[in-house]
Structure 1
Amino acid sequence: MSIRDWAAIRRALILGDSYNSEVNAHFGNTSGDTDRTAAKNICLVQSNDSALIAQQRIRFFREEVQKTHLKPTIIGKPKVDVDADVTYHPQIFIRLWQDSTAVPRGKFPKSAEFSYRVMGETSETVTNEKLNSYARLVYSAFFQNQFAINKGKYIGWYISPVDGLHLQLYCIDEAECTRVAQAIVSKLNKTWSESLFKITKPTRSNAVSTTDTITILGQTKQRPQWRPNCTVRATEAWISLWAEAEEIRNSLDCENRRHI
């Protein structure tokens, strides 16, 4: 590869919505946090980096920060197949992840997710200006002060079709179910209705047992824990539009996307 070719690639990695933009969105505002600032600076491609140094920065970001090689297998259906079967209003998703420092060695971080639909809009009526408006709401509601949920085995349900809400919130107890549901409804500028809220109280234990093991292909492994208690924090957001193959992410969480 010629020096001119590398210079063009490096420029693309640094400018616009490319790699450096993803790193900045991932770390969000790191002012006042010297450790996060230092980690972000390690990941950002610099204007004088060689190809080798840039590759090391990208590898560090993918493997040590995002830990992409440790992501669990996801079983699901491609969005294009879903869209061929049913039409829907635009849907905004918020995903929360467990702090990496709280994840036991050898385990995957736990996550949570909730969403709401933008009623009165369709894929054809949504504009870039409206996306920016949604982004400001999401940022202010869930990222400016990082929204957290204490996860557990209880389920809080809040179903209000007229508001585009079908919340299924896994929380540590009944009080947390109520707090989280009310907070989401309030942050989305909707009116809370007690009649639309209910809580499921499982009797099954979710306690950890070090002796609860299974054997797979001759190897003894810990049985997956059912609905463990842990804290998860808002980390990423995106909007899904019907008939749009890719989810739209940057406009929703780039102002303060947090990785934990």
Structure 2
Amino acid sequence: MPARDWALIRKALINGDSYNSEVSAYFSDFNTDTEAIAVKNLCLVQSNDSALIAQQRIRFFREEIQKIHLKPTIIGQPKIDFDADVKYHPQVSIEFRQTLTSIPRGKYPKDARISWRLMNETSESLTFAKMNDVAALVYQQFFSNRFSFKKGKVIGWYLSPSDGLALQIYCLDAAEAERAAKYVVQAIGKTWNNSIFKTTNPNRTNVPSSEQITILGKQKDAPIWRPSITVNAYKANINVWGAGNEDFELVGRLANGQFFAIARKS
């Protein structure tokens, strides 16, 4: 690769909303952890790095820190195929993630998702101006004072099709499920109807155990069913019918960990 080409690629990796920004945002929960800061610096591409060194830093971040090879297998259907079968209103989704500092060593962070549909919009009527309005609302209600809830085995149900709501929130207990559901309903400007809220509390235990299982001759920890953890708002996007595999980001995150509202392709 010509030196000038590599210099331009390296500059792109370092500056703006690119690789180094992603690394800094990932480690933003560890601002006072000197060991984590040292690891972050190992991952950041430096202005004098060769292409080989930069590749090693990126590989280290992806494989040893993010552990992308350990991400769960998703059993589903490509969006473009789903869109061919079902037509739907734009769907706003907020992704939640377990705080990194609470994750046991060698484990991957658990996540959660809360979503609703914009019943007054279609793919044809939606515009970037309208998406920016939605982004501002989502940012103000869920990210300016970061919304979190305690996840667990109890399911809180709130079904109001006319409001675009089909909430199914897994929480620690019934009280937490009601708090989370009520917050979402009111945050998006809808009226809470207590008569349609219900909870399901399975008898099955979700207490973490040290049970070991043997798979293909190797000892592994048994999966924990609906563990009790705290998850925090992490990112938000909007899913638009007919837009192919395009997804549109509503809330982004800066390298210093601060969130900001934006409507753009993610």
Tell me if both proteins adopt one fold, taking TM over 0.5 as the criterion: yes
Give the share of equivalent positions with the same residue, in percent: 57
1:55 CA drift (Å): 2.7
Q: 2:77 aligns to what?
A: 77
Query: What is the alpha-carbon distance in structure 1 between the residues aligned to residue 14 and residue 102 of structure 2?
Result: 32
Alignment of 1:57-76 (within 5 A): 57-76=57-76
Once the two structures are superposed, what CA deviation does each residue of 1:81-107 show, in whole Å capped at 9, x if it has no partner? 100101111111111111233223343
Q: Is the 8 A contact 1:138 1:253 kept in 2?
A: no
Q: 1:218 aligns to what?
A: 217
Alignment of 1:172-251 (within 5 A): 172-211=172-211, 213-251=212-250
Secondary structure at 1:252 match in 2: strand
Q: 1:136 aligns to what?
A: 136
Q: 2:264 aligns to what?
A: none
1:67 CA drift (Å): 3.0
Q: 1:113 aligns to what?
A: 113
1:49 CA drift (Å): 4.2
Moved more, 156-165 or 17-26: 17-26
RMSD of Structure 2 on Structure 1 (CA):
2.8
Matched AA of 2:245: E
Q: Is the 8 A contact 1:97 1:234 kept in 2?
A: yes
Once the two structures are superposed, what CA deviation does each residue of 1:202-259 show, in whole Å capped at 9, x if it has no partner? 1222223324x4332233433211111111111122111111123434443346459x
Alignment of 1:37-52 (within 5 A): 43-45=43-45, 47-52=47-52
Matched AA of 2:91: Q
Q: Is the 8 A contact 1:151 1:231 kept in 2?
A: yes
Instruction: Give the 3 Å change call, closer, same or farther, for CA 138–37 of structure 1 in structure 2.
Output: farther
| Structure with bigger RCO (C-alpha 8 Å, 6+ apart) | 1
Secondary structure at 1:95 match in 2: strand
Q: 2:263 aligns to what?
A: none
Matched AA of 1:109: P
Runs of at least 5 residues in structure 1 that lack an aligned partner in the other structure: none
Q: 1:167 aligns to what?
A: 167
Query: What is the alpha-carbon distance in structure 1 between the residues aligned to residue 46 and residue 130 of structure 2?
Result: 34
Q: Is the 8 A contact 2:238 2:249 kept in 1?
A: no
1:158 CA drift (Å): 0.8
Runs of at least 5 residues in structure 2 that lack an aligned partner in the other structure: 261-266
1:75 CA drift (Å): 1.3
Query: What is the alpha-carbon distance in structure 2 between the residues aligned to residue 24 and residue 124 of structure 1?
Result: 37
Q: Is the 8 A contact 1:238 1:253 kept in 2?
A: no
Query: What is the alpha-carbon distance in structure 2 between the residues aligned to residue 228 and residue 96 of structure 1?
Result: 15
Question: TM-score by structure 2 length?
Answer: 0.82
Q: Is the 8 A contact 1:88 1:242 kept in 2?
A: yes
Instruction: Give the 3 Å change call, closer, same or farther, for CA 151–246 of structure 1 in structure 2.
Output: same
Query: What is the alpha-carbon distance in structure 2 between the residues aligned to residue 221 and residue 8 of structure 1?
Result: 44
Alignment of 1:6-21 (within 5 A): 6-14=6-14, 18-20=18-20
Matched AA of 1:89: H
Matched AA of 1:199: T
1:39 CA drift (Å): 6.8
Query: What is the alpha-carbon distance in structure 1 between the residues aligned to residue 179 and residue 259 of structure 2?
Result: 23
Count of matched residue positions in the alignment of Structure 1 and Structure 2: 255
Query: What is the alpha-carbon distance in structure 2 between the residues aligned to residue 137 and residue 37 of structure 1?
Result: 33
Query: What is the alpha-carbon distance in structure 2 between the residues aligned to residue 139 and residue 33 of structure 1?
Result: 22
